[in-house]
Structures are given as structure tokens and as C-alpha cells.
Amino acid sequence: MPFYQYFNGDILPIDESIFKTNDLGLLRGYGLFDYFRTYNGVPFRWDDYWRRFENSARLLKLTLPISQQETEKVLADLHAMSGEQEVAFRFVLTGGYAPDSVNVVQPNLLIRTEPLPQDNPAGRLKGIKVLPYEYVRDLPEIKSTNYVHMVLMADEMRRQQAADLLFHKDGEVSELTRSNIFIFRGNKLITSDRNVLNGITRKVILELAQAHFQIEVRPVLYKEVVTADEVFTTSTTKWVMPVVQIGDLPIQNGLAGTSTLFLRELFENLIADWGK
């Protein structure tokens, strides 16, 4: 069965054109999004994702045209219409149509159901390479639609067989383009608290790790990352993904670390039972 999309109160086929050309998301890049998925047919950490989406909208001064309860009904309808057990949901909220191309009148809300992205079990087991990139995202608490640096560097990442960019500036690491970064130093699990998007998978990993490791949430220096015992990244699509090389520098022996793989297993056990 085909996937569908919700747009400002209507449910339409996924390939139907919807946006007019004077939308502020197109004209000014003024928009935000969020992305999550189901496990066992149940949306994962839905309340957390909604709160983050709501917070992003508040920080961009955009009024949400629909409540959480109303959105739950939309998600259930879109999921049922897809005919799939597992789906991804993508929310997009833009500044809407602006006759003067500047001022917000009424935001546009799009909710898409999408097939799940291609899995990367090899990456979760063996780890990935990332490229250091000097940059800090503007308004990092907002999951904005601006991914220009990732797109600009896509060819270079392919050329160097890297999976992502590691953002750093003034000696401090923040995040990857679409995921959070963690390091292990001995029994300490450390992740940055500055210039980062508060990832939901990040939050889950911190919860799972609490009983097993010392946890530090604080600014993280670049030199700490490249000399760490283990490095990994987390997101909806990456889950717990070891980072084994940064540019030309391997992390320790260049293999996925045991503590990282332990956390990956805890996360996989959690999602295997999600909603049951």
C-alpha cells in the first residue's frame, strides 16, 4: 500500500504536490522538522519527540496548528493507511505563506509517513569513520531544516569513505550532522551539553547507562575525543554506532569498543520489547 502525508488538515498521497512557492521554508529557510519511528508498530518515545518538536516551534516563534492528542490520531491514520508494520514519521513545520516574503502569517504543518531507512548493521558492529569539520550549528536546540554543510560535504565524505561530519570549534566538540557524540574514558561516559540538539536516543542511552557507568554531561574537548578509549554516536537511524576513525586518526585500535557494544545491546533489547 502507498504512503500518505498530512498537510494542514488534509491527508493526501505522498507524491502529491502541496507547498506554494512563497512559503518561508523555501524563501528563507525558515522551518523545522523532527523524525522518529515505530518499533513493533508503536511510535518510539512519542512524548519526548513531541516535546522536542513543540520546543523547536516555540524557539522559532511558530504556533503549532494541532495538539498532541490530535496529532496522535493523524499518526494512527497514516500508519494504518501505509499497510506497514514499521514506519518512520517526518514532521515539517515552516513559516508558511508570506505575501511580503518576511513575516509569518500562518505556519504550514506537514507530517509524512516514510519507509524506514536502510539499516547499517555493519556500521553498528564495526564502526564508522567521520571527518572533523569546523562548525557550530546556529540555534542548536532547534531541529531546523538547514543541513547545508552536510549537503556541501557529501561528495567529500564519499571520497574519503566517511559516514558523517564531526562538528567542532575553538577546541570543543558539539555533535555530528544528525546525531550526538559520546566518549568513554575508562568507566566514564561523557557527552557534550553545549551547542547540541538534545537527541531522544541520546536521552535513552544516558538512562540505560546510569546503572553501569559514571556519567559526565559537560563541554567536551576535541583532544579528549581523538584520545578517548571509545567513541560512539546516537540517533534514531544510527542507534548506537561506534566511531572508530576521525579523519586520519583511528580511535585506539580502530575497533568498536566493548562498552559501546554493551550499550548497543542494551538499546537493542529495549526496542525489541518496545510496546509489548
pLDDT digit string (tens) for the chain, length 276 residues? 689 999 999 999 999 999 999 999 999 999 999 999 999 999 999 999 999 999 999 999 999 999 999 999 999 999 999 999 999 999 999 999 999 999 999 999 999 999 998 767 788 889 999 999 999 999 999 999 999 999 999 999 999 999 999 999 999 999 999 999 999 999 999 999 999 999 999 999 999 999 999 999 999 999 999 999 999 999 999 999 999 999 999 999 999 999 999 999 999 999 999 998
Contact 242, 257 (CB under 8 A): yes
Question: Among positive and negative, which fits the CA dihedral 79, 85, 87, 89?
Answer: positive
36 beta partners = 89
Question: Which are the contacts of 254, defined by CB distance < 8 A and separation ≥ 6?
Answer: 127, 244, 245
Return the residue matching grid coordinates 551539553.
193
Where do the structural domains in the chain lie, given as residue ranges?
Answer: 4-114, 121-272
**Looking up cell 525489541, which residue turns up?**
272
Rounded Cα distance between 260 and 148, Å, is 30
Q: Which CATH superfamily is domain 121-272 in?
A: D-amino Acid Aminotransferase, subunit A, domain 2 (3.20.10.10)
What single letter denotes the amino acid at residue 113? T
- Sheet containing 31-39: order of strands: 10-13, 4-7, 108-114, 88-94, 31-39, 42-43
Residue of 271, 219, 209, 264 lying closest to 242 (CA atoms): 264
Check: CB of residue 160 under 8 Å from CB of residue 248: no
Q: Please check whether residue 181 is in contact with residue 231, taking contact to mean a CB–CB distance below 8 angstroms.
A: yes
Q: What's this model's pTM, rounded to 2 decimal places? A: 0.95
* pLDDT confidence of residue 117: 85
4-114 is classed CATH 3.40.50.300: no
- The reported pLDDT for the residue numbered 1 is 61
